[in-house]
């Protein structure tokens, strides 16, 4: 404004995506944190218990919505991302999140 150029710069609209980022990254309680906790207890936890934990923590937010079941009978949930809602099926989430490293790679990292 002082320089007299504010009239030449158009206002740029933006979507405040803070809640969606919190939904994903919060510690404790973000979706990634919940998924990691559930994966560590994989013998007792399932994709179904994971999505229930998601809903218990985030079910009343505008960025998260519990869904129904997909064609295989797995629960779904929807995240309202910056470009719109995306629905995810939880089928295999915990298994894919429980990555194990190749023993040769672990030995290499340890310098053995």
CATH of the domain at 60: 1.20.58.530
For residues 82 and 63, which has the higher predicted lDDT (pLDDT)?
Answer: 63
In a domain, 1, yes or no: no
Phi, psi (deg, nearest 5) at residue 3: -85, -10
**CA angle at 78 for the pair 77 and 84, rounded to the nearest 5°:** 170
Predicted pLDDT of residue 89: 93
In a domain, 32, yes or no: yes
- Give the residue-averaged pLDDT of 18-29: 86
For the chain, what percent of residues have pLDDT higher than 90?
20
Q: What is the tally of structural domains in the chain? A: 1
In a domain, 46, yes or no: yes
- Give the residue-averaged pLDDT of 48-68: 90
Predicted pLDDT of residue 86: 93
In a domain, 54, yes or no: yes
Domain that holds residue 29: 6-98
Q: What share of the chain is helix, strand, coil (3-state, %, to 5)?
A: 40, 15, 40
In a domain, 70, yes or no: yes
Residue 73 has pLDDT above 80, yes or no: yes
pTM over 0.75, yes/no: no
In a domain, 104, yes or no: no
Task: Tell me how far apart the alpha carbons of residues 25 and 96 are, in angstroms, rounded to a whole number.
Answer: 18
In a domain, 111, yes or no: no
For residues 39 and 52, which has the higher predicted lDDT (pLDDT)?
Answer: 52
- Give the residue-averaged pLDDT of 19-24: 86
């Amino acid at each position: 404004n002082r320089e007299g150029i504010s009239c030449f710069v158009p206002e740029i609209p933006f979507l405040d995506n803070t809640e969606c980022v919190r939904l994903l990254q919060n510690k404790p309680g973000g979706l990634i944190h919940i998924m990691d906790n559930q994966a560590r207890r994989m013998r007792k936890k399932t994709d179904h218990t994971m999505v229930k934990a998601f809903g218990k923590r985030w079910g009343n937010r505008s960025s998260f919505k519990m869904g129904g079941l997909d064609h295989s009978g797995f629960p779904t949930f929807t995240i309202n991302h910056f470009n719109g809602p995306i629905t995810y099926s939880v089928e295999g989430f915990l298994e894919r999140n429980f990555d194990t490293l190749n023993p040769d790679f672990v030995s290499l990292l340890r310098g053995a």
